[in-house]
């Protein structure tokens, strides 16, 4: 089975004779006035269909999508986004938010004034005790940014990154918090940020999707489940949905042709199906016909481009050693190198999930392995982009969906930390971001974001701003209302802009 048969199983009529195909279309598409008029001359329609099926293959059926924001609302500082997504919620106290005050309270009760009437995920009704940061911090670079010693390679690029310590979100459990981070709201079914961006400013690459997702196959104890709806197009046309590249085998299911089918034969099949799609549009005025035609064309081009994309033999040995990978192996390192190759080809939004940051217990054991898996690859990605002159036009984001509590949780094994939505840390780098900056702050024990707080909607507004989009003007009318990625809020965080 080819990728086309997998994506579009209804169109098996490509092997029929013209008259059979016409009858199949007649039974496939719903009746309409246009359809009735077409059926009044079925003999002529059969001749037309036969002519179309025997015509020269079409080189392109639809123009490349250039976006609805034309011209851009603002001068763009970045052309693309690579989001390094740490699913599960990294602890800010062991990564990027140095809290000596919390160390002084280690083992003591949390102040009731801090936690009163606050949402808590799994510590309801339990004795709340403070837990010190478990790993030392160090000042790195000329900027002196304080970063945990678990992240020495991130420390090496301290002058290139902006650390935001004052992030906060709306949801305290994983799936709704993922939904907020990806779509700007906890209401399921809205378009993801990658879909909004490709809808808004299009895709520079003609033979790959504009929004690609990769999920690492790390060996952690509890990989955080991430559902496909986190990169869904929602109510936007389906051509803007994120496409997941698999970690092993063909990056896209059914990418390879079956035995005995070559590229020319596949092109014939695509042209035949595209002709039927166009007839279907004429017969029933199908609003999805353009999307189907575009998807067929993209699928065919991907069969040609993806094998070259995932063949790392053209990479210098020095680059492979920098990332610590030999090929598309499912690791975060391999995905980072693939992300750079996607960025070179013009893919607009690339999202890499690492899924083992949910440390309710044994955080001292499991956090170092997570840090080791992502630290050097992230450094390699930024270093590689900088060497190629691409960092200034690529926005890099490193974040989870929320943070962890300053209180200890130890229901199994060694101590850990619970979910926390009131404050967490992330970093940004690249296109339009001021490097060597620490933005915002939390209170003495890291519970609340108290200085220059940044909501997820603010992060989205800033990301769109750097891409040349006014977040209040990128909208889509659905069910009688104009929607946007930042919903009804969001402000550009101008202090972090270069």
**Predicted pLDDT of residue 54:** 44
Structure tokens at 275: 């002709």
Asked if pLDDT for residue 212 goes beyond 50, the answer is yes
Q: Structural domains in the chain?
A: 3-55+262-298 (no CATH), 80-251+310-496 (3.40.720)
CA dist 436 and 160 (Å) reads 6
Phi, psi (deg, nearest 5) at residue 9 = -70, -20
pLDDT tens track for 346-387: 999 999 999 999 999 999 999 999 999 999 999 999 999 999
Which helix H or strand E contains 197, and what residues bound it?
Answer: helix 193-201
pLDDT tens track for 388-413: 999 999 999 999 999 999 999 986 67
CA dist 91 and 356 (Å) reads 12
User: What residues contact 372, with CB distance under 8 A and at least 6 apart?
Assistant: 150
Higher pLDDT, 175 or 300: 175
Asked if pLDDT for residue 108 goes beyond 80, the answer is yes
**Predicted pLDDT of residue 253:** 52
pLDDT tens track for 116-168: 888 888 888 889 999 999 999 999 999 999 999 999 999 999 999 999 999 99
Q: CA-CA distances (angstroms) from residue 202 to 67, 69, 72, 381?
A: 4, 9, 11, 24
Residue with tokens 């092993």: 248
**255 band by pLDDT with thresholds 50, 70 and 90:** low
**Predicted pLDDT of residue 224:** 78
User: What residues contact 460, with CB distance under 8 A and at least 6 apart?
Assistant: 184, 193, 471, 485, 486, 490
**271 band by pLDDT with thresholds 50, 70 and 90:** low
Selection from 208, 163, 457 nearest residue 338 by Cα: 208
For the chain, what is the radius of gyration of the CA atoms? 25
Which helix H or strand E contains 214, and what residues bound it?
Answer: strand 211-215
**Predicted pLDDT of residue 272:** 66
CA dist 81 and 95 (Å) reads 23
Selection from 215, 210, 263 nearest residue 240 by Cα: 210
Selection from 284, 294, 335, 407 nearest residue 61 by Cα: 294
Structure tokens at 431: 């296109």
Which helix H or strand E contains 325, and what residues bound it?
Answer: none
Asked if pLDDT for residue 40 goes beyond 50, the answer is no
**46 band by pLDDT with thresholds 50, 70 and 90:** very low
**Predicted pLDDT of residue 223:** 76
CA dist 68 and 81 (Å) reads 18
Contact by Cβ (8 Å): 208, 302: yes
Average pLDDT over all residues of the chain? 85
User: What residues contact 242, with CB distance under 8 A and at least 6 apart?
Assistant: 192, 194, 195, 209, 211, 212, 213, 231, 232, 233, 349, 351
**59 band by pLDDT with thresholds 50, 70 and 90:** very low
Contact by Cβ (8 Å): 89, 128: no
Burial 273-305 (b: 16+ CB within 10 A, else e): bbbbbbbbbbbbebeebbbbbbbbbbbbbbbeb
**Predicted pLDDT of residue 44:** 43
Q: CA-CA distances (angstroms) from residue 254 to 31, 180, 282, 338?
A: 33, 32, 30, 20
Asked if pLDDT for residue 287 goes beyond 70, the answer is no
Q: For the purposes of burial, counting CB atoms within 10 Å of the CB of 15, is it exposed (0-12), middle (13-18) or buried (19 or more)?
A: exposed
CA distance between the termini of the chain:
50
Structure tokens at 87: 């699913």
- In this predicted structure, which of 22-36, 84-98, 279-293, 395-409 has the lowest mean pLDDT? 22-36
């Amino acid at each position: 089975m080819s990728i086309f048969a997998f994506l579009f199983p209804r169109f098996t009529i490509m092997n029929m004779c013209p008259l059979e195909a016409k009858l199949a279309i007649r039974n496939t598409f719903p009746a309409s006035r246009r359809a009735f008029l077409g059926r009044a001359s079925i003999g002529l329609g059969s001749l037309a269909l036969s002519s179309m099926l025997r015509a020269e293959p079409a080189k392109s059926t639809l123009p490349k999508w250039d976006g609805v924001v034309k011209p851009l609302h603002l001068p763009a500082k970045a052309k693309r986004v690579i989001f390094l997504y740490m699913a599960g919620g990294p602890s800010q106290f062991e990564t990027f938010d140095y809290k000596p005050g919390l160390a002084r309270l280690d083992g003591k009760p949390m102040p009731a004034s801090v936690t009163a009437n606050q949402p808590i995920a799994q510590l309801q009704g339990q004795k709340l005790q403070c837990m010190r940061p478990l790993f030392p911090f160090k000042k790195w670079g000329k900027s002196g940014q304080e970063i945990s010693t678990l992240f020495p390679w991130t420390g090496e690029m301290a002058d290139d990154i902006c650390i935001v310590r004052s992030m906060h979100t709306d949801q305290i459990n994983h799936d709704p918090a993922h939904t907020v981070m990806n779509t700007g709201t906890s209401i399921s079914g809205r378009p993801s940020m990658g879909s909004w961006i490709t809808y808004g400013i299009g895709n520079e690459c003609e033979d790959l999707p504009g929004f690609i997702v990769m999920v690492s196959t790390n060996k952690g104890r509890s990989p955080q489940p991430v559902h496909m709806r986190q990169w869904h197009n929602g109510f936007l046309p389906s051509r803007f949905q994120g496409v997941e590249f698999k970690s092993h085998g063909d990056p896209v299911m059914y990418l390879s042709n079956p035995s005995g089918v070559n590229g020319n034969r596949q092109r014939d099949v695509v042209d035949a199906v595209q002709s039927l799609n166009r007839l279907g549009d004429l017969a029933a005025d199908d609003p999805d016909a353009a999307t189907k035609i575009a998807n067929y064309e993209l699928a065919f081009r991907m069969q040609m481009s993806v094998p070259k994309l995932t063949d790392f033999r053209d990479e210098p040995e020095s680059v492979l050693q920098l990332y610590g990978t030999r090929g598309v192996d499912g690791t975060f390192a391999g995905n980072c190198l693939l992300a750079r190759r996607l960025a070179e080809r013009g893919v607009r939004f690339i999202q890499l999930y690492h899924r083992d940051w949910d440390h309710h217990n044994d955080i001292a054991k499991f956090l170092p392995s997570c840090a080791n898996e992502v630290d050097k690859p992230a450094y390699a990605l930024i270093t590689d982009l900088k060497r190629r002159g691409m960092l200034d036009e690529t926005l890099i984001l490193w974040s989870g969906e929320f943070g962890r509590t300053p209180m200890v949780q130890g229901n199994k094994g060694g101590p850990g930390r619970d979910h926390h939505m009131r404050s967490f840390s992330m970093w940004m780098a690249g296109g339009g971001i001021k490097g060597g900056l620490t933005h915002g702050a939390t209170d003495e024990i890291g519970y609340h974001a108290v200085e220059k707080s940044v909501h997820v909607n603010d992060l989205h507004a800033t990301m769109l701003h750097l891409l040349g989009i006014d977040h209040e003007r990128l909208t889509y009318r659905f069910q009688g209302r104009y929607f946007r990625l930042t919903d009804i809020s969001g402000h550009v965080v101008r202090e972090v802009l270069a």
